[in-house]
Structure 1
Amino acid sequence: MDAVACTTLNGRPVAVTGSETLRVWDLATSEPVGAPIDVGGRVSALTVAMTPDGPVAVTGTTNARVRVWDLASGLDRGELEGAERIYVTALATTELDGHPVVVALAQGRKVHVWNLETRRRLATFESRDAHVHHVACTQLEGRPVAVVSSLDRWLTVWDLKARRRVGSFGNDGDALMSLACTSLAGRPVAVCGSFNGVRVWDLSVSRPLGRPVTGHIRRVSAMDVGELNGRPVFVTGSHDQTVRIWDAHTGSPIGDSMKGHWHDVRSVACTMLRGRSIAVTASWDGTVRAWDLECQVTHAHLTGPSERLTSVTCDVLDGRPVVIGSAQDDSLWTWDLATGKALYPPLPSAVGARRAMASTVTAGRLIAITSGEGVTQFWDLADRRSIAGIRHSAVAIACADIGGRPAMVTCGRDATVQVRDLATGRLLGPPMPGHSRPAQSVRCGTLDGRPVAVTCSIDDTVRIWDLENCTPVDTLHVPGVSQAVLLDDTGRLACAFGSDVAIFTRQ
Structure 2
Amino acid sequence: MAGADTETGRGRSISRRAVFGGAAAAAALAVSAFTILRPRNDTVRPDDVLRQDGRPMDQPSSGSPSPSTASPTPTPSDESFGTQIAASEPLPGGNGATTVLAAAGGIVVCGTPKGVVFAWDLGQTATRIGDGGGATTGVATGGVGGTPVLASGHADGWMRLWSLTGQSISSRKVSDPVIAVTVTGSGKAVAVSQKYDSMKDLHSVVRLWDISTGKQIGPAITDHFQGVRGLAFGRLGEDDVLVTGDGAQRVRVRRLSDGRMTHSFRTGDIGGIERLACGEIKGKPVLVSTHLDATLRVYDLATGKRRKKWKFSEQSPDDRGTTALVAGRLGDAPIAVVAHGPWTGDIIVRVWNLDDGDTIGVLGPGPGGAIRAVALAEQGGRPVVAGTAEDRTLRTWSLGPA
TM bin, normalised by shorter chain, reads 0.5 to 0.7
Q: Which residue of 1 aligns with 2:109?
A: 280
Q: Structure 1 CA distance, aligned partners of 2:253 and 2:155?
A: 27
- One-letter amino acid of the structure 1 residue matched with residue 140 of structure 2: T
Q: Structure 2 CA distance, aligned partners of 1:350 and 1:291?
A: 31
Higher relative contact order (CA 8 A, sep 6+): 2
Q: Deviations over 1:211-255 (max 9, x none)?
A: xx6424xx5222648899xxxxxxxxxxxxxxxx99698243322
Q: CA deviation at 1:401?
A: 1.7
Q: CA deviation at 1:431?
A: 1.9
Q: Structure 1 CA distance, aligned partners of 2:275 and 2:92?
A: 23
Q: Given the superposition, is the C-alpha separation of residues 491 and 357 from structure 1 closer, same or farther in structure 2, using an over 3 Å criterion? A: same
- Please point out which of 197, 215, 222 is paired with 2:22: 215
- One-letter amino acid of the structure 1 residue matched with residue 297 of structure 2: R
- Please point out which of 133, 139, 142 is paired with 1:312: 139
Q: Structure 1 CA distance, aligned partners of 2:308 and 2:161?
A: 36
Gaps of 5+ in 2: 11-17, 34-73, 197-203, 313-318, 342-346, 357-402
Gaps of 5+ in 1: 1-24, 31-190, 192-197, 199-212, 229-244
TM-score norm. by structure 1 comes to 0.48
- Show the 5 A alignment for 1:175-190: none
Q: CA deviation at 1:432?
A: 2.4
Q: Which residue of 2 aligns with 1:481?
A: 322
Q: Structure 2 CA distance, aligned partners of 1:494 and 1:247?
A: 17
Q: CA deviation at 1:260?
A: 1.0
Q: CA deviation at 1:289?
A: 0.8
Corresponding position: 1:504 with 2:352: yes
SS in 2 for 1:28: helix
Q: Deviations over 1:42-69 (max 9, x none)?
A: xxxxxxxxxxxxxxxxxxxxxxxxxxxx
Corresponding position: 1:378 with 2:208: yes
- Show the 5 A alignment for 1:49-448: 214-216=21-23, 220-222=25-27, 224=29, 250-256=81-87, 259-260=90-91, 262=93, 263-272=96-105, 277-293=106-122, 295-298=123-126, 300-337=127-164, 339-345=165-171, 347-353=172-178, 356-361=179-184, 365-373=188-196, 374-388=204-218, 389-393=220-224, 394-434=228-268, 436-448=270-282
Contact 1:309–1:326 (8 Å) recurs in 2: yes
Contact 1:435–1:457 (8 Å) recurs in 2: no
Q: Structure 2 CA distance, aligned partners of 1:222 and 1:246?
A: 24
Q: Deviations over 1:40-98 (max 9, x none)?
A: xxxxxxxxxxxxxxxxxxxxxxxxxxxxxxxxxxxxxxxxxxxxxxxxxxxxxxxxxxx
Q: CA deviation at 1:363?
A: 6.4
Q: CA deviation at 1:445?
A: 1.9
Q: Given the superposition, is the C-alpha separation of residues 341 and 495 from structure 1 closer, same or farther in structure 2, using an over 3 Å criterion? A: same
SS in 1 for 2:266: coil
SS in 2 for 1:220: coil
- One-letter amino acid of the structure 1 residue matched with residue 296 of structure 2: V
Q: Given the superposition, is the C-alpha separation of residues 259 and 364 from structure 1 closer, same or farther in structure 2, using an over 3 Å criterion? A: closer
- One-letter amino acid of the structure 2 residue matched with residue 330 of structure 1: G
Q: Structure 1 CA distance, aligned partners of 2:211 and 2:124?
A: 31
SS in 2 for 1:335: strand
Q: Which residue of 1 aligns with 2:42?
A: none
Q: Structure 2 CA distance, aligned partners of 1:434 and 1:451?
A: 20
- One-letter amino acid of the structure 2 residue matched with residue 400 of structure 1: G
SS in 1 for 2:337: strand
Q: CA deviation at 1:438?
A: 4.2
Q: CA deviation at 1:350?
A: 4.6
Instruction: Select the structure that is richer in strand.
Output: 1
Q: Structure 1 CA distance, aligned partners of 2:104 and 2:295?
A: 28
SS in 2 for 1:476: strand
Contact 1:482–1:496 (8 Å) recurs in 2: yes
Q: Structure 1 CA distance, aligned partners of 2:150 and 2:175?
A: 16
Contact 1:420–1:427 (8 Å) recurs in 2: yes
Q: Which protein has the larger Cα radius of gyration, Structure 1 or Structure 2? A: 1
Q: Which residue of 2 aligns with 1:98?
A: none
Q: Given the superposition, is the C-alpha separation of residues 246 and 368 from structure 1 closer, same or farther in structure 2, using an over 3 Å criterion? A: farther
TM-score norm. by structure 2 comes to 0.60
Q: Report the count of equivalent residues.
A: 276
Q: Given the superposition, is the C-alpha separation of residues 344 and 456 from structure 1 closer, same or farther in structure 2, using an over 3 Å criterion? A: same
Q: Given the superposition, is the C-alpha separation of residues 459 and 342 from structure 1 closer, same or farther in structure 2, using an over 3 Å criterion? A: farther
- Cα RMSD (Å) of the superposition? 3.4
Q: Which residue of 1 aligns with 2:336?
A: 493
Q: Structure 2 CA distance, aligned partners of 1:437 and 1:483?
A: 17
